[in-house]
Structures are given as C-alpha cells and as structure tokens.
Structure 1
Amino acid sequence: MAAVRVTTVKTVVDRIEDGGEGIKLFTLIDPERWELPPFKPGAHIDLHLANGLIRTYSLCNDPADKTRYMLAVKREADGRGGSIHLHDEVRQGDVIGVSLPRGGMSLPAHLSRFAFVAGGIGVTPFLSAAALLKRTGRNGFTLHMITRGPPPLADLLAPMIESGHVVIHDTAVVGRPDLAALIGPAATDAGIGCCGPESMIGDFEQAACAWSAEQVHVERFVAPPLPADPQARPYTLVLARSGRDIAVGASESMLQALTALGIDVPTSCCGGICGACKVGWLEGEPVHRDRALSPAERSRSLLVCVAGSASERLVLDL
C-alpha cells in the first residue's frame, strides 16, 4: 500500500501526572534530551500510537520550553479509543512518534488585550498562550475558565489564578456566564479565543460576530457534521508524483477515493479540524471545507478528509 510520507519525531514519555478527574498530563522529551522542534502557543501535534491510531492534541506548555512537549488528555470512555489507550496502556519510558507541531495562535504584537474562553479540558491551548504572554510582559489578558466543579489542570492554573489572569466560572454555583460580556465589544487592539464544547463555541461565535476573523481563534474538540454540498460534481484527482488518475464521485470524499486505491493518508479527526491529512495541491480549484488551514495555507494545501474540487481536474503533490 502506498503511503503519504509523514515526518515524525521520536519522543519518550518522561512524566505522567494527574491533571484532575479523568485527566492525565503527559510530558514528552527527546530520547537524548535534545531540543524539540519549535511551536507556536497552543500548537497541535499528532501522536502516532502503538495500536496504530493517530490522535491530535494541543500543546499546553510555554513555547520557550524547548525541551519538552506537554499535553493533557481527558479519558473519553465513549470516544474513538485514543484517550483510552493513552490512559490505560502508555507508561513512563514508552516511545511515541509525534508529528511536527502545526497551527497555534499568532498573538500579534499590535494586539494589547486578549480574552480567552475555555470550557473544561479546552483550556489547554490557552495555557500555552497565557504562559507566553505572561513571560513576555504582555499582561493584558484574561483566561475565563468555565467548568462545573473543580477546574482541570489546577496546578498549572494556580499561579495565574493568583495573579488575576485566570477567572474561574463554576457553573455548578453561578451558571454559565454571558460570553458576550466576557469578551466585550469588538476592538482593533484586542484578540479573543474559545475552545470547549460545541454549544459553548456556538454561543461564542454568535457573541463574536462583529469581530474581525483575524482577531478570533476557535478550536473544537470534535469536528462538526459536514453538510452535503449541492454543487458537488465528479472530478479527476491526479497524483503528480506517481502519475495516477483517480475518478472521484460526487458523493465520495477525496479521502475515500485515495484510501480505496491503497493510498495511506494519516488521519485523526476526519472532519477538517486537526490538519493531520494535509496534502499539497498543484493545479485545479479545490473546495476547502476545513476549519484548520489559514488562507495562506489554503493557497498551497488542502485537507483530504473534507476538501472537494470545483474543477474537473485537481492535481495533488502525491
């Protein structure tokens, strides 16, 4: 079976710590303790697990901390198996291959204020962003942690709760806060972000509708359902390196067509939010339906799990 070439970095599980109810905090390091590839605050890595699964998680440590990757994993009994494997099978000293970090938050210098809204384990990318902002003296940020009962990763949150940068909203006591009030009105000098359950993200996006898209960062736990495209038409997928042509049906995904011909593409979310299946495109007019790639990335890449084609012929760098 042909496979898409994927760059992975060999890491070793250095520590596994309790992160709260149902949560484990994993620290990964280079086996020889060399520096790991750099990352933006809240970037993602794919874990290539021993059982063959590939799962994507946000890094929660300061990007200046170059010798380790820290990620928090909530055990989802009804999930797709990745978190169960990490909780139940992975031990200190185990070797895990990880992808190069991708994505994350830019936190441009002209923005002086930030308001982040996190639901439960959705706090992880904002812990990384908050650590960078605090370290560099950009203290005009607030992380609103919305939880029911004690917050996850309490030890990591504690210093920023003490400094006033983290505000805990316990819905068991006060109910869910008004998200529009938390982020405030649209402003040219501010940035906002949200990660949490889909219902929270929906409310956040409604509250942020007046904000410029460049100032808003949203991350999802689960890919939302992809609506049917009434404009979808059959097309031909051309693999530039091998010269193969693949006929893709109107109701068929690009990923399904590639997999059917034995092209092994790494996947994780299969819904356009993680970026694990990113492939370069060379010719044609792709239809981007992902929620992960920036406009600049879309000019040269697509996610095969959700992308389509508006042209009769689409050439991939495969």
Structure 2
Amino acid sequence: MAKPIKHLQTLVRQIEEPLPGVKRLVLADEDDWRLPAFKPGAHIDLHLGNGLVRTYSLCNDPSDCRRYVVAVKREEVGRGGSRHIHDVLRVGDSIGVSVPRGGLELLPQSMNVFIAGGIGVTPFISAILALEREGKANYILHWASAGEPSLIDMLGPALKAGRAHLYNTHTGNPPDIRAILQACGEDTKAFCCGPGRMLDAFEAAVAGWPEHRKHVERFVAPKIIPMSTDQPYEVVLAKSGRESVVLPEVGLLATLEAMGADVSVSCGGGICGACRTRWLEGPPIHRDRVLSPEEREHEVIVCVAGCSGRRLVLDL
C-alpha cells in the first residue's frame, strides 16, 4: 500500500506586504497544477527548512485550488517561523506544504458570527469569501485591530454590504463580545480567533452554549502543565514494532522523536493538528483542542497526549 502524501512542494509565486509587519504569500504548484482541495478556514503547515514547521490558516476562497494564500504577522518574540518568512523567504523559492486539514463547519442557513483580533481574521476571510461566492448573507464579522486592519482588501463585498464591523483599538473600544453574543439567536454559531485575552472573553461568554454552536481557533498554544498523577507507560509503534517507555518528565512527543517516529510537529501545544495519529490500543489521555469526541475514539494529538493505561499502541 502506498504511503499517503504528507506534504508537497510549491513555489512562492507572490509576496505582498499589505501592512508593515504582515506578509501575504501566494503559493502554487510549479507547473500550475491544481492543489489539494480545502474547506473554508483550513490550515496548512509550511516546511521552512532547518526543522521549522509552522501552521497557518488559508485565507483564499476554497474554490481557488490553484493557489494557497496565507498571511503571516512578524513576531519578534516568537519561535522563529514568522521571522524566517519575513526575512529569508523570496519569490521563486520552493517550499514544502502539508495537505490542508481541518476547517470551519459553517451553518448553511443560520447565522455565522465571526469575532477576530488582528491576524486572527485569516480563517474567517476564507469562510466569508466562500459564503459570498455562494450568494449567502448569513454571516457577520467583528474584527478588532490595533491600528489599521491588515487584509482589508480581501473583504470588499462584506464591507460594502455592511456585514463586516471594524474596531481600531488605538482610537476606540474593542468589540463587546458578551453583548454581541447575547444578541445572537439560538441557531447562531459563533467563531473566534485572536489574542489570548479575546479568546478568554469569548470562551467565558459561550461557556453555557452547546459545543456545536461555538468554535475557537488558537494560534498560540496554551502551556501544558504535567499532572502529578502521570505515570510511566509503554509506547509501541505498530508498523515497526519498536517500543519505549514514556517517562512523565520526558513526555510522549520527545519519546517518539528519540525513537525516530515519522510524526510531523508544528505547534507543540495541541492546537494545530499536525501530529494527529491513529491509536490502536490505550486509551490515550487527550489534552488537545483539535479533535472532536468522535475523532478521539481512534486518533490522538501526540504532542500533548498521555496514556491512562500501561500501554499505548500507535499506528506508526
């Protein structure tokens, strides 16, 4: 059986800087073949070289499968991925990208409310472009920026129709998240992506909502604190038969890396899904913010996972 494709090579066709500190990349196949399809708000991993793998939301219309568009804000105190993109990457460079994964489950008829902070608007731009193309007006965007918004040129129809509300926090107040959500009907689904304070306010406001009516996109992984009750366990790679003991102070991911397991890692904090892996025996302890309860029945995000038994068998 052939191994599934984990990533493909693309060329950087275009680099724009719509606002200082933000780079927008257009990636395409070197022969202009169609790229793998994606859902609104899906993510891809960029393989930047020197072991740097970073996850970004696609912000173009999913119908446009001859290119992937991502926007990257420069983070001076980040882990180095954004600085590499801003300082090193050039038009014409070859770059590996993963097959797109994930995406936003939009309501086809009821209202979709998007609340974004800064560059966190990227997955919602993709969703809005898809809804606009389908002739649907069942969405509203509340977008806060510390200054001028960076990707405003991608939201022309939404702005013209009055379905995008902008908040410049340098000159005014941020959106009142609780008031926005209290005004929503019972069939509304709310989405949020932005800085930690915004996400915390959103999660507090929707704490009593059913899970299918709320969605949070995080681009900074929360710190994982090992539990004092964690115990050593054995991890087994089913395809190779390799085995090792996972110590609580080492963790599953570091153990897999030491074993030479073929696992892609990006965020290292359970928010991007790059390292999702099938598990065969366990059960694992799930600490991610990616998988649904149904997906957890057979998949695990290994960068933050543990095991509640004595043995974890992975399909690796």
Residues of 2 paired with 1:15 and 1:89: CA distance? 14
In structure 2, list runs of 5 or more residues that go unmatched: none
Give the corresponding residue for 1:189. Answer: 187
Higher mean Cα deviation, 308-317 or 259-268? 259-268
1:58 aligns with 2:57: yes
Q: Please state whether the residue corresponding to 1:172 is helix, strand or coil.
A: coil
Residues of 2 paired with 1:35 and 1:5: CA distance? 18
Do the aligned partners of residues 245 and 51 (structure 1) sit closer, same or farther apart at CA in structure 2, a change above 3 Å counting?
A: closer
* 1:282 Cα deviation from its structure 2 partner: 0.8
Q: Please state whether the residue corresponding to 1:247 is helix, strand or coil.
A: strand
The code of the aligned residue for 1:173 comes to: T
Do the aligned partners of residues 19 and 298 (structure 1) sit closer, same or farther apart at CA in structure 2, a change above 3 Å counting?
A: farther
Tell me the TM-score normalised to structure 1 length.
0.94
Give the corresponding residue for 2:158. Answer: 160
Question: Which segments of structure 1 move beyond 6 Å, counting only runs of 4 or more?
Answer: none
Residues of 1 paired with 2:156 and 2:137: CA distance? 16
Residues of 2 paired with 1:197 and 1:47: CA distance? 22
The code of the aligned residue for 1:144 comes to: H
Residues of 2 paired with 1:91 and 1:112: CA distance? 42
Do the aligned partners of residues 158 and 150 (structure 1) sit closer, same or farther apart at CA in structure 2, a change above 3 Å counting?
A: farther
Residues matched between the structures, number: 314
Deviations 1:50-109 (CA, angstroms, capped at 9, x unpaired)? 333111000001111111110000111111111111111111111111101011101143
1:211 aligns with 2:209: yes
In structure 1, list runs of 5 or more residues that go unmatched: none
Give the corresponding residue for 1:126. Answer: 124
Give the corresponding residue for 2:233. Answer: 235
The code of the aligned residue for 1:82 comes to: G
Deviations 1:204-224 (CA, angstroms, capped at 9, x unpaired)? 101111221111111112101
Aligned-pair RMSD on alpha carbons?
A: 1.6
Higher mean Cα deviation, 291-300 or 58-67? 291-300
The code of the aligned residue for 2:235 comes to: L
Q: Please state whether the residue corresponding to 2:19 is helix, strand or coil.
A: coil
Deviations 1:147-181 (CA, angstroms, capped at 9, x unpaired)? 12111112113332122111001112222221011
> 1:267 pairs with 265, 268, 275, which one?
265
* 1:296 Cα deviation from its structure 2 partner: 2.7
Q: Please state whether the residue corresponding to 1:138 is helix, strand or coil.
A: coil
* 1:264 Cα deviation from its structure 2 partner: 5.0
Give the corresponding residue for 1:96. Answer: 95
1:138 aligns with 2:145: no
Do the aligned partners of residues 108 and 296 (structure 1) sit closer, same or farther apart at CA in structure 2, a change above 3 Å counting?
A: farther
Contact 1:116 1:142 in 2 (8 A): yes
Residues of 1 paired with 2:229 and 2:112: CA distance? 39
Q: Please state whether the residue corresponding to 1:173 is helix, strand or coil.
A: coil
> 2:243 pairs with 242, 245, 251, which one?
245
* 1:5 Cα deviation from its structure 2 partner: 7.8
Contact 1:186 1:211 in 2 (8 A): no
Residues of 1 paired with 2:201 and 2:311: CA distance? 39
The code of the aligned residue for 1:40 comes to: K
Q: Please state whether the residue corresponding to 2:312 is helix, strand or coil.
A: strand
Give the corresponding residue for 1:284. Answer: 282
Percent identity for Structure 1 against Structure 2: 50
Residues of 2 paired with 1:42 and 1:78: CA distance? 26
Give the corresponding residue for 1:302. Answer: 300
Deviations 1:183-203 (CA, angstroms, capped at 9, x unpaired)? 235644211100000011000
Contact 2:44 2:58 in 1 (8 A): yes
Contact 2:147 2:168 in 1 (8 A): yes
Give the corresponding residue for 2:36. Answer: 37
